[in-house]
Amino acid sequence: MSAPLSKIRNDLGKINILIVGKLGVGKITLINAMFGKELAINAPEKPIEYTHENYPVSIIDTKGIEFNNYLKTINDIENYVKHCQSSNDVHSHIHAAWVCIAEGCSRVEIDVKEVIEKLSKYMIAKNSPMVKAVIRVQTLSVQLDDGYVIKPKNLEELAKLTNEYLPEDLINAAENKNVPIKAFRSDLGKVNIIVTGKLGAGKSTLINAMFGKELAKTGWGEFTQEIKEYSCGEYPVSLIDTKGIYIDFRNDINDIENYVRHCQSSNDVHSHIHAAWVCIEEMTSHVGRDIKEVIEMLSKYMSVIVVITKRSIDQGLQKIVQRECPMVKAVIRVMALSVQLDDGYVVKPKNLEELAKLTNEYLPEDLINVAENKKAPIQQDDEKDDDYFQEDEEVSDDYFKKEDEKVRDIIKQAKTKISSAKEDDNFIISGINMISKILNVFDLEIEKEFIIKISIAIFGDTETKFKKLIMFITGINIELTIEQKKKL
């Protein structure tokens, strides 16, 4: 016979359940009953994890809460949960909590209320109400005095009930083994996408779904209050969440534009915003003035894609957006989360990878060019020179011989007029030769008097910057004073 824990979902990877309650409430008995064998024996002083090779579930027992020291015990439990939830691996998180209360209690005491409040901040019970469900269980068979046997009750139901309240990031990680964000181009360096929309449009939920983990806070009463960047080390993509556009929408849009301007002013293209997702709920019947204005503003700086969130029934919003906002590059309908309907049918996430692929098509050219330039092989200077001369097939060797003779003649006459220069002959010859060659490259005729004048101007003064530059280019070794070396 299978243990009650066999009813916990086995398609999500490892699931961790924390069990808490007052000292002597029956936590150990419940753990053993759920696994169908005796694993737990003694009450722990610190959290202890119980597992079974047949089930991908861990139940973590905690120290029993005693009224005279309950604040310290609850604080220790909270610190343990904080540590688990801080992991980047969703399978290391605590996914649900069972708070045990004995049937005979007439009320919920302050210590139990306190632990429920603390735990509700970190896991499934974070939305109102704090407690998601209550269930009565019997863990052991008990024979009454009259011989009647009370059998274990509702243990499998507890496992099934827990399935309903497992966190979204765990489910998303299983459903999106190929995390949607992976569909972004990985060859461009860091890509930044700004996500905007009306308050409650599902921006934060979309961000979590794209990364396959819960990074942004979502749910009832959770609203983004400031611009915040989300990223994951595995993927070179940042999704930037913004404050939901509401009543004072022009101020909200102004804040977004100021942020965008600041990013676009950077000299580093990887600090720019490269595309915008403007979220609109599926059930919206028109594009409001506030959304039109944010689309107009963002389209001045980047490509805008409208993301129709909470995809359900197509009522033609896609066509309305395309008609009323022609500056929008594309419109796509997405479903970020799994939703179970009343009849049991599950609507699964939809078009998340397609959103990433669609965005790839509208990334800016400067970002793509930077990436492509990095890939281009660097050609050596001597190879470039060879290519230059090879392309000009009409130029004969005789041409260069004649030009060299002309240059040598100019050099001889120039040297005789630079009597004040005390430089090495090779230095002067190399310098004048270089000037002549430069004129040749640009198809300028070599005028003897012009070259002589330039040579005198450069080499007649031992302190000219031109001379130092030519020394550097030609590589001629000239003895310099200490002061001259410092200036170089």
Residue 245 lies in a domain: yes
Is 38 in contact with 27 (CB distance < 8 Å)? Answer: no
Residue-level pLDDT at 448 = 56
Residue-level pLDDT at 460 = 55
Q: Do 53 and 139 reside in the same domain of the chain?
A: yes
Last residue in a domain, options 111, 146, 166? 166
Q: Do 307 and 416 reside in the same domain of the chain?
A: no
Residue type, 455: S
Residue 379 lies in a domain: no
Q: Do 200 and 160 reside in the same domain of the chain?
A: no
Q: Do 421 and 312 reside in the same domain of the chain?
A: no
Q: Do 471 and 357 reside in the same domain of the chain?
A: no
Residue 398 lies in a domain: yes
Residue-level pLDDT at 467 = 52
Residue 392 tokens, joined: 């000009």
Cα torsion through 394, 395, 396, 399, rounded to 10: 140
396 half-sphere exposure, CB direction, 13 A CA radius: 3
Q: What is the DSSP string of 258-314?
A: HHHHHHHT-SSGGGS--EEEEEEETT--S--HHHHHHHHHHHTTSEEEEEEES--S-
What is the rounded distance in angstroms from the CA atom of residue 446 to the CA atom of residue 481?
A: 34
Residue 387 lies in a domain: no
Domain count along the chain = 3
Q: Do 92 and 184 reside in the same domain of the chain?
A: no
Last residue in a domain, options 341, 373, 405? 373
Residue-level pLDDT at 392 = 41
CA distances from 415 to 89, 239, 410, 456, 469 (A): 77, 68, 9, 9, 19
Residue 378 lies in a domain: no
Query: What sign results for the dihedral spanned by CA atoms 106, 107, 110, 111?
Result: positive
Q: Do 59 and 149 reside in the same domain of the chain?
A: yes
pTM of the model: 0.48
Residue 388 lies in a domain: no
Last residue in a domain, options 136, 166, 196? 166
Residue-level pLDDT at 180 = 87
Q: Do 132 and 197 reside in the same domain of the chain?
A: no
Q: Do 68 and 148 reside in the same domain of the chain?
A: yes
Residue 273 lies in a domain: yes
CATH of the domain at 66: 3.40.50
Q: Which domain holds residue 53?
A: 4-166
Q: Do 237 and 109 reside in the same domain of the chain?
A: no
Q: Do 356 and 214 reside in the same domain of the chain?
A: yes
Q: Do 216 and 352 reside in the same domain of the chain?
A: yes
Residue 385 lies in a domain: no
What is the rounded distance in angstroms from the CA atom of residue 325 to the CA atom of residue 331?
A: 10
What is the rounded distance in angstroms from the CA atom of residue 318 to the CA atom of residue 331?
A: 6
Burial of 387 (0-12, 13-18, 19+ CB in 10 A): exposed
Q: Which residues of the chain have pLDDT under 50?
A: 125-128, 220, 378, 380-395, 399-400, 419-423, 461, 463, 465, 469, 472-488
